Structure 1
Amino acid sequence: VPYVSLVECLPGEGMVYGIQAANIDVGGYILASIESMASEYIDSIRSVQPQGPYRLAGWSSGGVIAYEIGVQLSRAGEKVDFVAMIDSYAPAGMHIENAHLSMKDSMISFIRSRWYNVDDDMIEMLMAKDRADEIAEEFCGYSGDKIDMSVEDLIRRANLLQKIAGATAEYVPGKLLCDSYLFLADQQGQSASGDSQELVAARGWVTVAGMPPEGVYIGGDHYSIMQSPRVDRIARFIGKALSWPANEGVKA
């Protein structure tokens, strides 16, 4: 859902593919790392486009997975033109003692990313709950038929998000030899006047990546960066950077 606005704003007529977040349990084994998730995603990408060039983008942990997809495809000899990460963090380079999300925080994060129109008062009320299942029950009870998920669905999706966040916390990015960009939200009082590469470093990418991404300041917070008008700016930048002609290439 967060990517719909981005795709609608992209210029041109190129084909765009989205990849559904992988189930952590696939074929009887656990996708416990960003590397294993990226490998599964590559299988999906190659089922549509067996060879490059590839153009990749993702938001939050999805950006980290897109980065690793680029690393693995490059190592396999494929051409990767472009990787865009939207407010993605590399916790391994931030020296955070505990970067793992609690189930409660995962539930709040999923609700905020799935339903942009949830107001701050509702979020504050939900955060006052002690457990993720209580948050899910309160949210479903309050929202009624305005949402398309049950309490069980919410818990399952929050659990998936928690596991992906845990994998992200353990991920050490490899070397990516292509153009890459990190679109930056406004976090902790940062402003457009700040140095974008300092903001890239603050998100952990400079100390762990062989070739750090170029920082592009967008503003907003981690969630509103995927909404208009900020997502429009991201789309315009991507379109200009790619300069891809109509009906050529695949972005995932």
Structure 2
Amino acid sequence: RLLGPDQPFYGLQAKGLDGRSEPHTSVKEMAAHYIKEMRELQPEGPYLLGGRSSGGTIAFEMACQLAAEGEKVDLLALLDTYPAGYFKLLPGSSSLGQRLSRQARKFQSHLTNLRQLNATKKVGYLLNKLAYAPEKAKHKLYRRAYKIYQRLGRRLPPVLKNIEEINFTAVKDYTPQTYSGDITLFLATDLTADYDSYDGWRELVRGEIETYEIPGNHINIIKEPHVGALAEKLRSCINRVQENKSAVGLASS
């Protein structure tokens, strides 16, 4: 609605969300499925792709697969999306030293964030992190259960067909490839973002990285009142793509 009535916008539903079909359990499978569905509406590019959080990871993989097929992606908009698995491409990424180094950098980023806040906001920041601890524990339990069923080659039971948890596990297990095109990052400004977001994307993207800051946090940047700022910047990006396309058309005519 905020992008305007002249801008078509299509959402892709995860397989298995209907409770009947078997869900995909890897980012690559999800991306291939979404590309197939997208092509029913638009068989050929150029495409405008976007997604938030794990949806952004899937959109990134879609862009990689499309690029490998020779298709063009004019816009890849990633809304507060962490560069999942980027460190797996670095030398010695699984070594104890590298794991400890990543944890140390993460800890340092929290200290840096806390120094920028007053006493009241410091408490809120810490409470926000602590509140997420039970959720992280639940994610780990689901992930272990999925891996057991995958090793056994068995279908997931209904109790484990939680799309949110499946997506979380898929992103954790994702090993990305490098993308030859450009990306546009829309980053929340609440200081709770991952410490290595931009540097991680730089490892994965050979093209340009454009960044916009959106007021709010990871959850509410797509809700009022912050979604208005997001829509304004996204609309600006779409307009620029369309203007460039028109300019190319005029130059070739």
* Alignment TM-score, normalising by the size of structure 2: 0.60
Give distance in 1, aligned partners of 2:138 and 2:24. 25
Amino acid corresponding to residue 162 of structure 1 in structure 2: E
How far 1:218 moved relative to its partner?
Answer: 1.1
Q: Does 1:231 align with 2:224?
A: no
Give distance in 2, aligned partners of 1:46 and 1:26. 23
Q: Indicate conservation of the 8 Å contact 1:58/1:86, yes or no.
A: yes
How far 1:198 moved relative to its partner?
Answer: 6.7
Tell me which of 161, 166, 174 is aligned to 1:163.
Answer: 166
1:88-167 correspondence to structure 2 within 5 Å: 88-93=81-86, 159-167=162-170
Q: Indicate conservation of the 8 Å contact 1:85/1:181, yes or no.
A: yes
Match in the other structure for 2:178: 175
Amino acid corresponding to residue 69 of structure 2 in structure 1: A
Tell me which of 5, 9, 16 is aligned to 1:16.
Answer: 9
- Structure number with the bigger relative contact order (C-alpha 8 A, sep ≥ 6) is 1
The structure-2 alpha-carbon separation of the partners of 1:225 and 1:156, relative to structure 1 and needing over 3 Å to count, comes to farther
The structure-2 alpha-carbon separation of the partners of 1:33 and 1:189, relative to structure 1 and needing over 3 Å to count, comes to closer
Match in the other structure for 2:198: 200
Bigger radius of gyration among the two: 2
Give distance in 2, aligned partners of 1:231 and 1:208. 27
How far 1:205 moved relative to its partner?
Answer: 1.7
Q: Which has the higher helix share?
A: 2
Give distance in 1, aligned partners of 2:197 and 2:82. 11
How far 1:188 moved relative to its partner?
Answer: 3.9
Match in the other structure for 2:39: 46
Give distance in 2, aligned partners of 1:26 and 1:35. 21
Q: Indicate conservation of the 8 Å contact 2:31/2:58, yes or no.
A: yes
Identity between Structure 1 and Structure 2 (%): 30
Q: Does 1:81 align with 2:81?
A: no
Q: Indicate conservation of the 8 Å contact 1:173/1:209, yes or no.
A: no
Q: Secondary structure at the match of 1:52?
A: coil
Q: Indicate conservation of the 8 Å contact 1:172/1:208, yes or no.
A: no
Match in the other structure for 1:111: none
Structure 2 runs not aligned, ≥5 long: 88-92, 100-126, 140-157, 246-253
The structure-2 alpha-carbon separation of the partners of 1:212 and 1:23, relative to structure 1 and needing over 3 Å to count, comes to farther
How far 1:50 moved relative to its partner?
Answer: 0.5
The structure-2 alpha-carbon separation of the partners of 1:238 and 1:37, relative to structure 1 and needing over 3 Å to count, comes to same
* Alignment TM-score, normalising by the size of structure 1: 0.60
Structure 1 runs not aligned, ≥5 long: 1-7, 98-119, 133-152, 191-196
CA RMSD of aligned residues (A): 4.0
Q: Secondary structure at the match of 1:91?
A: coil
The structure-2 alpha-carbon separation of the partners of 1:224 and 1:11, relative to structure 1 and needing over 3 Å to count, comes to same
Give distance in 1, aligned partners of 2:207 and 2:187. 17
Give distance in 2, aligned partners of 1:189 and 1:56. 25
Q: Indicate conservation of the 8 Å contact 1:52/1:80, yes or no.
A: yes
